Amino acid sequence: MAFVEVKTRACRDYGAPEAAITRSKRREIETVARAFLADHPVRDVDVRFDVVAIEVDRERRLTRYDHIEGAWRPDG
């Protein structure tokens, strides 16, 4: 099961889209994932945290799309 954070940027003034997923944001996503799994128990399933990074130009045309599987692992 993958929990996926999608980030889009129209320019790199603030860095790449994936760079916006801070440690704090990762912890927030992990908390939501734990709550979801507590409410929806599943057996024998691997869990991973992915990132989809999207960049578009000024006309909103796609210039980059990157699906990063297993972008991070939770701390403990």
Residue 68: enclosing H or E segment and its boundaries? Answer: strand 62-72
Predicted confidence at residue 14, as pLDDT, reads 83
Q: How many CB atoms lie within 10 A of CB 53?
A: 21
- Whole-angstrom Cα distance, residue 16 to residue 33? 24
Query: Could you tell me the residue range of the domain that residue 17 belongs to?
Result: 2-72
- Whole-angstrom Cα distance, residue 47 to residue 50? 10
Predicted structure pTM score: 0.88
Question: Per residue in 7-47, pLDDT tens?
Answer: 999 987 888 999 999 999 999 999 999 999 999 999 999 99
How many distinct structural domains can be found in the chain? 1
Predicted confidence at residue 49, as pLDDT, reads 98
Q: What is the CATH number of the domain that holds 28?
A: 3.40.1350.10
74 or 51, higher pLDDT: 51
Q: Identify the CA nearest to 49 among candidates 65, 34, 68.
A: 68
- Tell me which amino acid residue 34 is: R
pLDDT band at 76 (very low <50, low <70, confident <90, very high): low
